[in-house]
Structure 1
């Protein structure tokens, strides 16, 4: 890796200190007349403090970014999520709370097992959930943080009025394709741990759907739903919960790669909670499910899939800032026969694809054709420097279309369907793209069908690499 490469994509791992409001960004090209609403993105933005740095990309303190699109105008604002953790880093110049891979003194989970309760300090830097009464920022602690979707002001940590208790959840809840209820799981660590799958019909009360016990909980960043099922893929990156007490290490450092366990696939009936199948396949790892759907008595499950869990270590900041490459994720389809438990797997494309999105409102949990994500053109190298292109995949044909601008690094493409769209890819894809040479980021708008660029808006500073976001139409 050359020095010039190291000095480019690592701009996306630089702390962003400034919060600002810009009424109108410079726009080139032509935005669709119907594209009015807000794109809110979430991700880490504070990686360093007075005496050191966090260890992992996932540890950076959460910042929200809002792009307001209004009849050709693009406004922008950004704001840190105001939590005790971010205040200790940004105001006091110290790390006071444990993160995914960084611990100031002892493990957060060690304190939990010692005190029999957990001091709740979320760093909600992964995703956002918009709509309804509240907007919330999410992480893998079961503690959503409410914020004002207009000003991005932090309001409060949101609690629940139910008896469910657990330690870890996902920042990727799903809308049930049939009822619209929010579905997620809550992992409770113990002598026998359990994934508690629940639904949330409204408000802050959760209702248990079903429970999946496990002796060795795996690290699951996401899961999948279909019209009648909830699917958990438990990868063999697993933990003995006693390790949180005995090893005195940050959260993810307690997990171990155990390929001999294979990958457990559990399919639950989303109405009754009954387990339809509990089977296994080859060892693999994934952060993100693309989508899932049913074909008769078979569940079709698509993943952005890695060969193993080395991607977790590849995202430590010292390795990324040194310019080391990242292994690729590729789209893989798993067909799970519910009666026999048989699993058949097929790679959908050789083109790397990560941070996948779909036409979520119309296709989540249902048959679909197109997905959009970030990719990595490796050139002649074995590993890519970072995500450096956008990819559209036709899951039926395996055909891909790539958008790439040399020297830039795009983020998750959010698909926005056109009003009254009749075709699945009739709409646009929105991506925040880092341009290190210009020391700024761009909001790039692509035609989702051709994957050609329609317009871009220039942000006056670089936005650190983020994770996920959502678009809401103007009312």
Structure 2
């Protein structure tokens, strides 16, 4: 294991960039370099996209190095696709594999690992047909697929969050799926209110420090704003007309506002696969819609240069009304339209690197953006500061070997410096999350997983948030190699 030196962006250059970045574009020369990285993926990269054939029983993980930090106890839950192929036909895109919940339990002395498929109607239909026939983001419908509502197509494979005493496995276009936190047993779809069954509920809700949940559901240019209590009870479901029918995977929020980024990737056809009904229209630019949480009719619209994205960081608001948040931006949606399709077919598709950027929305309705130059994804932060001003962003890093990271970093917005730990070219790094151990924003641990290609096994790592450069203080290795997952949550004991 090695540690990369900090990447530095000076405070002066960052502030200067915020003043001019509204006209910034991503150069074609950079694009060609990024696409060339597709040929540098490690030879055994396909392990990250292989099928899992059955659930994984709880078992003790081997301590590879270090020791459990004192006082760290809880569960890291992760969700991601883990079944892509059946004899009669495969999925057409990475995003359409069957969801599998992973549980990594830290009990203060040892670590255990288990995993279980989410028992969706989609999975049952395809198991019986012995073919991946349910349509999805990149998968065409097979013959005779019984689809009566959105939930029939749910793969429940994108995120998992704790709500009350259970877990919700989240997709994009349908209801949350309830899962038992201890056994990972599927308990059925969650209907959020009377007359609201099968409604879309995005995989990236924004959760306030007190547990209140905000989320969106989208159908073209129509949306619904969900507001739930910490136990998942419905507080409000408000219809919302969007300025355009942009593809929305994520949104963000401050303590007072919802922030919806509308990229110029537009729904133009109601078709399957869903990705084929989306049109990239960069001449439209990117818009940002800001809504007052207390009165959703109070709205502001900002204009930015065109970019594609999947993930945003938590937003905060400054005393002069400026809203700031991170986005991992790409020059176009090539990853979703081409690369993610190639991955499950065992091919090396083009790679467009996501670049960490900060967006500023000023009170006079000027929208500005600065790119840090760091290839990064999966921005996370101290959950206790959701919607509040903060200094740090956790992110994955070092994408030179392909579309999956090999490092984890902590970006300091005060100094413009990112400290990155490089796990090495034989590791595929997943999202890391924050586990608090003190009152300060960096007082805690980064907990996450990697796929060790040489060992053929999934590993669990704990790094000190304030010393990412020091690498893992503890690493455990499981008895299985699980494919790359998307998102998850740490639940303290």
Quick one: distance in 2 between partners of 1:135 and 1:119? 17
Distance 1:32 1:185 in 2: 37
Residues in 1 aligned to 2:368 and 2:403: alpha-carbon distance in whole angstroms: 32
Residue 41 of structure 2 corresponds to residue 10 of structure 1? no
Among candidates 335, 350, 358, match of residue 360 of structure 2: 335
**Shift of the alpha carbon at 1:165?**
7.8
* CA distance in structure 1 between the partners assigned to 2:150 and 2:238 by the alignment: 25
Q: Which residue of 2 aligns with 1:42?
A: 79
Computed over aligned residues only, the root mean square deviation of the Cα atoms, in angstroms, reads 2.4
Distance in structure 2 (CA, Å) of the matches to 1:172 and 1:119? 17
Shift of 1:471: 0.9
Say whether residues 1:182 and 2:213 are aligned partners: yes
How far the C-alpha of 1:12 sits from its partner, in A, is 0.5
Equivalent of 2:324 in 296, 300, 309: 300
1:127-156 Cα shifts (integer Å, max 9, x gaps): 012041431100002311111111101111
Q: Secondary structure at the match of 2:335?
A: helix
Task: Name the structure 2 match of 1:212.
Answer: 241
Are the structure 2 counterparts of residues 183 and 355 from structure 1 closer, same or farther at C-alpha, using a change threshold of 3 Å?
A: same
Report the alpha carbon displacement of residue 262 of structure 1 after superposing the two structures with TM: 1.0
**For the Cα contact (< 8 Å) 2:353–2:403, is it kept in 1?**
no
Aligned residue for 2:480?
Answer: 461
Please tell me whether residue 141 in structure 1 is matched to residue 173 in structure 2. yes
Q: In structure 2, do the counterparts of structure 1 residues 204 and 251 end up closer, same or farther at CA, with 3 Å as the change threshold?
A: farther
SS at match of 1:12: helix
- Alignment check: 8 A CA contact 2:40 2:402 kept: no
Q: 1:399 to 1:392 in 2, by over 3 A?
A: same
Task: Name the CA distance, whole Å, in 2 between partners of 1:3 and 1:354.
Answer: 21
Per the TM alignment, residue 434 of structure 1 is displaced from its structure 2 partner at its CA by 0.6
Distance 1:161 1:5, change over 3 A: closer
Structure-to-structure mapping, 1:120-159, within 5 angstroms = 120-159=152-191
1:417 is the counterpart of 2:436? yes
Which stretch shifts more, 97-106 or 311-320?
311-320
Equivalent residues, number: 450
Unpaired runs of at least 5, structure 2: 1-36
Q: Equivalent residue for 1:200?
A: 228
Q: Please tell me whether residue 22 in structure 1 is matched to residue 58 in structure 2.
A: yes
Distance 1:465 1:70 in 2: 24
Secondary structure in 1 aligned to 2:389? coil
CA distance in 1, matches of 2:233, 2:211: 15
CA offset digits 1:42-75 (Å, max 9, x no partner): 0000011113321211111100111111122111
Q: Offset of 1:322 from its aligned partner?
A: 1.9
**Which segment is superposed worse, 53-62 or 384-393?**
384-393
Instruction: Note if 1:283 corresponds to 2:306.
Output: yes
User: 1:456 Cα deviation (Å)?
Assistant: 0.8
Does the 8 Å CA contact 1:209/1:271 hold for their aligned counterparts?
A: no
Matched, 1:31 2:65: no
Counterpart position of 1:450: 467
- The residue number in structure 2 matching 1:391 is 409
SS in 2 for 1:350: strand
Q: CA deviation at 1:271?
A: 0.6
* Aligned counterparts, 1:338-377, within 5 A: 338=363, 340-347=364-371, 349-360=372-383, 362-377=384-399
For 1:166 and 1:156, the matched residues in 2 are separated by 12
Could you say what secondary structure the match of 1:352 adopts?
strand
Report the Cα distance in structure 2 between the residues aligned to 1:213 and 1:5, rounded to whole angstroms.
39
Query: Aligned equivalents of 1:325 and 1:448: distance in 2?
Result: 33
1:439 and 2:456 matched? yes
- Normalised by the length of structure 2, the TM-score is 0.85
- Specify whether residues 375 and 153 from structure 1 end up closer, same or farther in structure 2 by C-alpha distance, changes over 3 A only: same
- Aligned partner of 2:125 in structure 1 is 88
The more displaced of 250-259 and 271-280 is: 271-280
- Secondary structure class of the residue paired with 1:367: coil
The 3 A distance-change label for structure 1 pair 39 and 119 is closer
Q: In the aligned structure 1, how far is the partner of 2:232 from the partner of 2:197?
A: 17
- Structure 1: runs of 5+ lacking an equivalent: none
Structure with higher RCO (Cα < 8 A, 6+ apart): 2
- Any idea what SS the aligned residue of 1:449 has? helix
- In the TM superposition, 1:153-168 aligns within 5 A as 153-163=185-195, 168=200
Contact 1:169 1:186 in 2 (8 A): yes
Whether 2:420 is the aligned partner of 1:402: answer yes
**Alpha carbons 2:275, 2:337 under 8 Å: kept:** no
Contact 2:102 2:114 in 1 (8 A): yes
